[in-house]
Every structure is written in C-alpha cells, then in structure tokens.
Structure 1
Amino acid sequence: MRVLLSTIGSRGEVQPVVALASELRALGQDVRLCVPPDFRDWLEELGFDVVPIGPELRGTASASRSRLTPAQLREAAEGTVTTQFETIAVAAEGCAVLVAAGALQFATRSIAERIGATYVYASFCPITLPSEYHAPPPMPWRAPGEAANRDLWAEDARRWNRLFGERVNSCRATAGQAPVGDLQQHVFTGRPWLAADAALAPWPEPAGSRVLQTGAWSRPDERPLSPELLDFLDADEPPVYFGFGSMRAPGELAETMLAAARAHGRRAVIARGWADLAVADGHPDCLGIGEVNQQALFRRVAAVVHHGGAGTTTTAARAGAPQVVVPQMYDQHYFAARITELGLGAATEPGVPTAGALTSALEVALRPEVTARAREFASRVRTDGAVIAARHLLATAPLTSA
C-alpha cells in the first residue's frame, strides 16, 4: 500500500519529510510526497512520486514584508484551505496512510477520514503543539503580556477557527462530512508526533504523555563538498558559516556577515540561500556558495550563524559546531533560546542583524569553552529519528510491501 507524506513548508520542512520517505521506502513501502513545486525536480531525481501543492515559494525570500489587510488575510487563508482540499484529495488516491507534517495542515485529516486512511500529524518543534508548559510561537498579532499559556493556546485555537474553520467546514460539507468545532484539535489529534531531538528540543510534559517524540527526521547526506569549497576550507583556520536558508533577507546582509567574521580574524563562508545574498567577488577571505552538504560542511567550520530553523539547528548541533541564531519567525525563537540555554552559542535580537550584533554574538560562540561544550553535546544528538518514526508508522497502520 501507499503512504502520503504532505507538507506545505519550505526546505526545512521538506527535508525531514524526505528522510521519513526514504526510511519507509527502505522498509518496502510505496511513498508519495505532496510538497511545494520548488522541490519536485529534486524529489523525482530521488525516485519519489510527487504531487506539487500551491505556488512556488522561492520568490518569497526576496519579497517585501507588506502587511495584509484583514480582508486579504482571510482571502489568502481561504485560498490555502481550498487548494489543500483539492490537491490532497488527488494525492491521497490509493493511500492507506496520510501523514501531515509541519504548519498549517488543514485538509489532510478530512481527506483521510473520507477514504478510510490512517492519519498522523507531526510537528518539528515542541512549541508548535499546545501545552500548558509553554506559550504558542510568537506571532505578529500576539501582543506581549502576562496571559497564562492555557489562555494563549485557547486564543490561538479561536483564531484558527475564525480564519480557516468556515472554509474547512464548507469543504467537509461538500463531501458529506460533519463540521469541525475545534480545528486546531482536529488537525493535531490527541496523539501528535514530535519530530525533534529529545536533547535539543525535548517535549516538556512528563514521559508517557500524549505526544510521541520520535527524534528529528534526517537522512545521511553523502554529497561531496565542491573542490572550490574544500580548497577554501583547507587554506587556513576554520571559517564562520553564515546562511539564512529560505528566509527573507536583504542581499547586502552578506557584507554585514563578512564584517562580523573579520572582527574576529575569521574568514566567512556565506550561503546565498533563497534570498540570493550578494557576496562580492574578489574577497580572499570570503566564499559564496549555493546548495551544500551541511552535514559535512558544519564539521569544518568554527561556528554556524543561521536563522534558527529546526533542521539547521539540529544539523549544527549534531556536527558539534557552536551556533549564533538570528531568529526571524515562528519556531526559530524557540531554537534561539535553546542554543543560549544549553550554552552552545548565542542569539541576536529577531530580524535583520547589524554587524555589531553579529560580532558580539560571535564573540560568545567562538569562546573555547563554548566550542568544547558544542562538541560534547554532539554525542547526545540522535540520528535515528526517521528510522524510529518509520517503524512506529508500520506498527500503527496496516502497511504492506509495494
């Protein structure tokens, strides 16, 4: 039988889904992926059946941050829900199990109910799942205050219902399904999975709670580093890596990054990312790179400066690299706090960093005791999360060989 793995996120959410897909395929299962079209070519090269969902995401990294009006926000929300119901209904044909991974998964459980399939929801960060032990992720509409975590989650659930609930129930009614009263609970279920490392991002509730923490989903990356990058790494002491992944960022941020590295007598490797950070040619102490094997590169650098996505944070922790987290949104604030709490590096204020802020944070991350602590912590970060998740899925659902 076939498993559908669905996510509407960027590379940080697609990569763990691919890790789980790879483990399921190794166990003899037929896997289909429903992901944004940006990743279709890559996944088809890996031999996966891919159904693209929604628009391409890459252009958003250089888009302006203009605020939507309430009417535009509702229109966008309703369009997202409609697209999910239409696309996932097609992608789920012939599937016995539907796994929704990451944020804003509104249709997958309804489609699973229609076709009699098993449904699993998986999150990549603890604070994206409701708990009285933590508040929901910081969002632009949520004013700072002293409200209890339980009240904040209740307000979050009401917002889900206001923005998305009417269109979800309209799509359900078209198929003869009963309306959903609490959309958030409907999506998350009473037994969500947490695909995050227990040492780096532990579930805060007591062991045996309702959440199944599998560990982070990752797959070994065997790609070699380019000759140009290897020559740069071998030419001098380890450089500092800078990268914002798929996040928005002004192109000139590369010069700020280079200035921070130079302030500590370090060279810089700057990942251009989706924002296409402008790296000036001709600097002997700076190398701009595209897509790269982070697992290999992070073992060769003095520190990793990044936006705080779950995947990058986990990869750097596993590599034993000190980190500077520059959080931008959502769960990245959580990982910034965790890196600081664990003594594995430092964090800047959210948003576009100044050279001074990066220089100060790097001063902390490059301390010998922080480097030693990061190397020791690496041994605690597990690599078998996708294997554990695949085996749990096999035990949960009636899967058979393809």
Structure 2
Amino acid sequence: MRVLLMAYGSRGDVEPLVAVAARLRDLGVDVRMCTPPDFAELFDSVGLPLVPIGEPVRPFVKGVLTGKTQAPAEGLPARAAAMTATTYEAVVTAAEGCDVILATGLLPAAAGARTAAEHLGIPYVFVACFPAYLPSPHHPPFERPGRPFPPGVTDNRALWDLDTETMNDLFGTGLNAHRATVGLPPVARFRDYVLTDRPWLAADPVLSPWLEPADLDVVQTGAWFRADDRPLPADVEAFLQAGEPPVYVGFGSIPMRDADGVARAAVEAVRARGRRVLLSRGWADLAVADDQDDCFAVGEANHHALFPRVAAVVHHGGAGTTTTAALAGAPQVVVPQMADQPYWACRVAGLGIGAAHDGPNPTYESLSAVLGVALAPETRVRAAAVAETIRTDGAAVAAKLLLDQVG
C-alpha cells in the first residue's frame, strides 16, 4: 500500500503528518510527503521522501505578516488559484501509484490535492487540526482576509452561509478555472468540495471537542503526536539545570511586526515575575537584547522534552504548541495572531490551564497581567489535571483509519 500525505502551511500543519507517517511505516505502508520545500530538513531527519510544492512559504508569510508585502486581501483570488494549480501539479505526480491522498493545511492547496485525487481516481481525505475549519452551529468560522463579518450578524449558521459565499468568491473561481484545464467539471461549493461530507478532526476531544448535533459527519481521531525522543541541545540542558524552571516564550512559524519589541516586552515581564526566560527564535527571529544569564535564546528543540520542564509557555496559539503544552501540564499564555489561534486562546482560558492575551500585540503591561494568571499555583494544578486527560493515540487511530479507507 502507498499513501500520499499533503500539507500546505506552517510547521504546525506539517508536523502532525510526520506522526501519522511514522505509524503508517510501522504498518508496512509506503509513505510519500508533499509540502512546501521549507520542511525538507525535517523530512530528511526522519527518512521521509518529499515532493516539494512550489516555492518556500516562509518568506511570503513573513512579508505579509510584517507588512513588507501586499496585504493579505489584495490579490488573494489570484494567489489562491496559483496555489491550487501548483499543488495539483505536485500531487498528481507524487501520488501516481498511491492508494489514497490525505490533505491538510490551506484550503486552496487542499482543493488542488482533491482535484489530483479525482483525476487519478483514488480516495481523498481532508483533515483539520482545529474545529473552526468545519461548519457547525456551535462555533463561527474565522474571518477571511478583507472579508469581515457584517455588523450585527451573530448566528453561527448565518455566518457559515456567508463563509460559503466568501470562499466561492475568493477560491472557487480559480479552482474551477484550473479544473477546466484538466478536463474536469466545475464544482458549485468550494468549501464542501475540499472538506468532503466526512472530514477528520485531528484534535484532542478534551482540549477541542467536536460538538453534536452538527451538519458534517466529523471523525475525531485525537491530536497527532510525533514520537520524539530527541534529547535537548546541550546548551539548553545546561540552562535548565542552572536554576528554577524558566518561562518559555516563542511564536513558532508566526513572524511578528515588531519582533525586537515583543522580545523585549516578554523578557521584562517574565523577569518582573522573578522568573528566567527561554526565548525561542522561531520565524520571528526573536533575540535576547542583553547578556544577562537569566535569559537564553534557543532554536529548534524537542517541545515534548522541553515543556514539562518550564514554568509556563507563552506562545501564538498554534494547534500543535497548544496541545503539546497541555500534554506537558505546562500553564500557557496564548497571544493569538490569526486564523484558529483566537479559538485556542479561548479554550486555554476556558479550561483554566492558562490565560488568553487580548489581541496580537503584547506589551510589558499586558503580558505582566496574563503571566500573573498563568503562574498562579491553581493554574498549574489545573494544567496538571487536564494533562492526564489528553489522548496520545491519535496518530495510530488515523493510520488505522487510512488503511480502512482503502480496504
């Protein structure tokens, strides 16, 4: 059996597929990967073959989120159409001889993957790592770039109907134009085509439950954790052993408009609480502004080994970081920037395992306030209790489901 796993997006979209790929290989399945070329080193490290999709995404994402390139709403339909076509070209080649395609990440890319599956006549599965991609009366969609919700409209079903129209406008025309070039008929509803009527949800049922009744037949597998036994770098290990547990600060694959200001505010706020700081560089290129020994900057590190040893995790609210911190029992401060991140901020605060920062631009004062919540003894007790409920078998469940999909 041969499976193609496709993700177009950031590290948080790609990393879960590595977990499923490992499980599939254990079952004797031949696995191929299709992602942007940014993650070639990751796949090399685990021995997975990569067919790259287009150009690296990091420079473009950094340019948009830091305001150095055009705003996200400008030219979005054209960029989405190009993403669909580029993904189709990569996937239709990589999936030759495959039995099933599983796709996640940005929806225009997933549309290209489904079109490739349709062209090849093989099954296609879409997986979301958070519920806000999936229509439900229990939560709203997130706003699309340049398309704010109309004032006064709060009913979730009405908002999802608007989202259907928005996605047809932004993405559907480009998809159908591409389909015409490969001899396939147009689709009427872009979102329904990409998601299918039975999407998967790779999220923990305690941290991120799928509520019934709902319009879709959603299969919730649990979060997909990569088995990662890498030791921490020697310099990180030395810093951890040199004092009390530090506060981790990192924003993953999210560049920041004022990275220096954010790093400075975070370090000062953590120090004011009498804590040391472990600063993750990430795509924001966060850096330590002084040479004091209570602050250390780290690059790539195994979060599963690191998070159980920190006092709190301050982060952007990506699905993977949120879930890994929850599994570690580490209190969290979520500073949401975009997309699903406000959802995760609300879940962390609602569960009592941390605090949600108000908005994407942290200051010394605002971080001081939410750190007070996260570092409170009762928050750590609650985080430890929730950690005991987090499932770790999601990747194994997904691998078995994929085998069943083909069989």
Give the match for residue 5 of structure 1: 5
Q: In structure 2, do the counterparts of structure 1 residues 139 and 180 end up closer, same or farther at CA, with 3 Å as the change threshold?
A: closer
CA-CA distance at 1:79 after TM superposition: 1.4
CA contact (8 A) 1:59 1:274 kept: no
* Shift in Å, 1:227: 2.0
Q: Deviations over 1:373-395 (max 9, x none)?
A: 10111010011100001011111
Contact 1:320–1:376 (8 Å) recurs in 2: yes
2:148 is matched with which residue: 119, 133, 142?
142
Query: How big is each residue's C-alpha offset from its partner over 1:101-159, in whole Å with a ceiling of 9 and x where there is no partner?
Result: 12311111221122111110000001110111110024442235333111111111112
1-side partners of 2:286 and 2:11: how far apart?
Answer: 17
**Aligned residue among 228, 235, 250 for 1:221:** 228
* Residue 80 (1) aligns with residue 83 (2): yes
Change over 3 Å in CA distance of 1:231–1:68 after alignment to 2: closer
Question: Which residue is 1:121 aligned to?
Answer: 126
Match of 1:159 among 158, 166, 185: 166
Matched-pair contact (CA < 8 Å) for 2:131–2:208: yes
Number of the residue aligned with 1:368: 377
1:166-205 matched pairs, under 5 angstroms? 166-205=173-212
Q: 1:234 to 1:378 in 2, by over 3 A?
A: same
Cα separation, 1, equivalents of 2:175 and 2:36: 20
Q: Is the 8 A contact 2:251 2:282 kept in 1?
A: yes
Shift of 1:329: 0.3
Asked whether the equivalents of residues 92 and 120 of structure 2 are also in contact (C-alpha less than 8 Å), the reply is no
Q: Counterpart of 1:51 in structure 2: which amino acid?
A: V
Q: CA deviation at 1:206?
A: 4.5
Give the structure 2 partner of residue 345 of structure 1: 354
Is 1:265 aligned to 2:265, yes or no?
Answer: no
- In the alignment, structure 2 segments of 5+ residues that lack a partner are none
Q: One-letter code of the match for 2:388? A: S
Which amino acid counterpart does residue 310 of structure 2 have in structure 1?
V
- Residues 199 and 302 of structure 1: is their aligned pair in 2 closer, same or farther, counting only changes over 3 Å? same
Q: What do you get for the CA RMSD once the two structures are aligned?
A: 1.7
Change (3 A) 1:395 1:207: farther
Give the corresponding residue for 1:240: 247
Aligned to 2:93: 90
1:21 is aligned to 21
Q: Are the aligned partners of 1:133 and 1:149 in contact in 2 as well (CA < 8 Å)?
A: yes
| C-alpha distance in 2 between matches for 1:113 and 1:224 | 43
Offset, 1:271:
0.1
Q: Distance in 2 between matches of 1:316 and 1:364?
A: 16
Query: 1:319 and 2:328 equivalent?
Result: yes
- Provide structure 1 residue ranges, at least 5 long, that are not aligned to the other structure: none
Greater RCO (Cα-Cα under 8 Å, separation 6 or more): 1
Q: Aligned partners of 1:22, 1:336: CA distance in 2, in Å?
A: 30
Pairwise CA distance, 1:60: 4.1
Secondary structure of 1:20 counterpart: helix
Q: Report how far residue 67 of structure 1 moved.
A: 4.7
Alpha-carbon distance in structure 1 between the residues aligned to 2:93 and 2:213: 39
Query: More displaced, 153-162 or 18-27?
Result: 153-162
1:103 is aligned to 106
Separation (CA, whole Å) in 2 of partners of 1:131 and 1:149: 7
Contact 1:35 1:53 in 2 (8 A): yes
CA distance in 1, matches of 2:294, 2:226: 32
Equivalent residue runs for 1:32-111 within 5 Å: 32-60=32-60, 62-63=62-63, 64-65=66-67, 67-68=70-71, 72-104=75-107, 105-111=110-116
| Change beyond 3 A, Cα 1:348–1:397 | same
Partners of 2:236 and 2:180 lie apart in 1 by 55
How many residue pairs end up in the alignment?
398
Q: Answer yes or no: is the 8 Å Cα contact 2:153–2:159 preserved in 1.
A: no
Q: Aligned partners of 1:145 and 1:12: how far apart in 2?
A: 33
Find the aligned partners of 1:227 and 1:62 in 2 and give their Cα distance: 30
Q: TM-score, normalised by structure 1?
A: 0.95
| 1:384 aligned residue | 393
Question: Secondary structure at 1:95's aligned position in 2?
Answer: coil
